[in-house]
Amino acid sequence: MPAVSPDIKQLLTDYDQLHLIAAAESLTEDQVKDLEDQIRAIDFDQITAARESSDSSAGDDAVPRADNAVAPATVVRPPVSDEERLQRQKDIATGNRLLADGAVAVITVAGGQGTRLGFDRPKGMFPIGPVSNMSLFQIFAEQIAARRERHGGSLPWLVMTSDATHQETQDYFSDNSYFGLDPQTVHFFKQGSMPAVDAESGQILMNGSSSICRSPDGHGGMVTALDSSGLLQQLADAGVKHFFYHQVDNPTVIICDPALIGVHDRIQSDLTTNVVRKVDPMERMGVLVDIDGETQIIEYSELTEQQAHRQDDAGNWVFWAGNTAIHVFSLTFLQSLVADGCQLELHVAHKKVPHVGADGEPVDPSEPNAHKFERFIFDALPLAQKTLIVEGDRDREFNPVKNATGSDSPETSQAAISRIGREWLQQSGINVSEDQVVEVSPATALDADELKQKLEAGSVTVAQLTK
């Protein structure tokens, strides 16, 4: 029987993973080599440190962290004065110029499955158009195509997938002719993965005789994945200066909003974050705050009910600035993260992980049994020299699809898409009932003004937008 190499045996001995040596005894030579490759890819020191940090804190620092937090001191809010409106127009002009110059790229984080929606395919393939039934991916593709047509720039699209979604996502784009986009301008890159370990013993779990249980390393793995794919350098060489980042579950995101791009550039921000007002203190959203002069995000799970309701002296909620996961990164900031090793904090999650036991039989736990590890992109905030928070229009920009029913569900998201369409029609002087289902695809118009122009020209009819 083939034996594991001496260096692997020593590594597994040092980190108390001897069960992997035992597992190798029944494998072929090729299987042992494959298992060794998987083992070499693991940073055992990182995993050990993350588990020790999680065990030692166990929530101890959550209370003081929240207690030390204050509402963000500086936020770019929707304009109300003539001066602010003028500045916004200047920012839009700057954003338009950067888009025309090819200085902006789009990153769509699409590593997740639609499991919580009862959809066993990549979430980006989920049908969400209330009239067209088009998928999330198609909506984004049409936005990008419309931006390219409007501004004339290249606007590369980077789609971050995972082991679970990579091939099916690529096939979906290919089968749909990339929704009319030039395939050379759409780039797929795969996020990394981390092993799952037994929550009690710390031993790495197996999902087959020669295969380690692994899961995606979180959206914070984007920086490493973008660099290792070669895309970061490729786009830098092509003149890209800013990266617009969003997650795949929000169909009403305004991709490469010129106003957001423009203010990000004007402030020379390393990392800009779009926020919206929480509808309720207990809403399950992370919030942006200032802690000791640094911009950080506190997750909703870190807040007690009393903390979540905390108000400032003026009676405003402290934890109001909900994170939309819409960001703009500067190229130089991403390059600095790469130069520093991309080591965002590794977080531990206690999850149910089916696996294969020592006897080779499948184990399907009924309770959380394992630790998974992931990084969060917002942990880059304290590492930035200059950050910017911009308050967006929640009704227009943030209507995600996260749950099968209730809030942030397909029903609420489709209702928002339809409401936006009705508002645009009403701004064009067309009366539509409040129960009329409307959808204005990005290929038809990116905003109310463009829709009005097309309606007046007769190139679009109301009947095409409704059902």
CATH number at residue 201: 3.90.550.10
Q: What is the band of 359 on the pLDDT scale with cuts at 50, 70, 90?
A: confident
Q: What is the band of 97 on the pLDDT scale with cuts at 50, 70, 90?
A: very high
146-150, 184-188, 207-211: which has the minimum mean pLDDT? 207-211
- Which residues neighbour 17 within 8 Å (Cβ) at sequence distance 6 or greater? 11, 44, 203, 204
Rounded CA-CA distance 332/337 in Å is 9
Q: Is residue 54 part of a domain?
A: no
Is there a single domain that holds both residue 393 and residue 413? no
Is there a single domain that holds both residue 15 and residue 145? no
Q: What is the pLDDT of residue 57?
A: 56
Last residue of a domain, one of 372, 399, 426: 399
Is there a single domain that holds both residue 144 and residue 30? no
Q: Is residue 48 part of a domain?
A: no
Is there a single domain that holds both residue 389 and residue 267? yes
Q: Residue 217: which domain range?
A: 59-399
pLDDT digits (tens, 9 = 90+) for 309-335: 999 999 999 999 999 999 999 999 999
Q: Is residue 52 part of a domain?
A: no
Look at the chain and report how many structural domains it folds into.
Answer: 3
Q: What is the pLDDT of residue 233?
A: 98
Is there a single domain that holds both residue 252 and residue 160? yes
pLDDT tops 90 at residue 56: no
Rounded CA-CA distance 262/94 in Å is 5
Is there a single domain that holds both residue 391 and residue 418? no
Is there a single domain that holds both residue 462 and residue 359? no
Q: Kindly state the average pLDDT of the residues 168-197.
A: 97
Q: What is the band of 410 on the pLDDT scale with cuts at 50, 70, 90?
A: very high
Report the alpha-carbon angle 394-447-459, nearest 5.
150
Is there a single domain that holds both residue 246 and residue 285? yes
92-96, 288-292, 386-390, 458-462: which has the minimum mean pLDDT? 458-462
Rounded CA-CA distance 12/213 in Å is 16
Average pLDDT for the chain: 94
Residue 281 vs residues 301, 309, 316, 325: alpha-carbon distances, Å: 12, 6, 11, 18
Is there a single domain that holds both residue 363 and residue 457? no
Is there a single domain that holds both residue 153 and residue 288? yes
Q: Is residue 333 part of a domain?
A: yes
Q: What is the pLDDT of residue 61?
A: 52
Is there a single domain that holds both residue 115 and residue 202? yes
- Which residues neighbour 134 within 8 Å (Cβ) at sequence distance 6 or greater? 127, 128, 142, 441
Q: What is the pLDDT of residue 55?
A: 67
Is there a single domain that holds both residue 314 and residue 371? yes
Q: What is the band of 383 on the pLDDT scale with cuts at 50, 70, 90?
A: very high
pLDDT tops 80 at residue 283: yes
pLDDT digits (tens, 9 = 90+) for 120-150: 999 999 999 999 999 999 999 999 999 999 9
38-42, 103-107, 245-249, 441-445: which has the minimum mean pLDDT? 38-42
Last residue of a domain, one of 359, 377, 399: 399
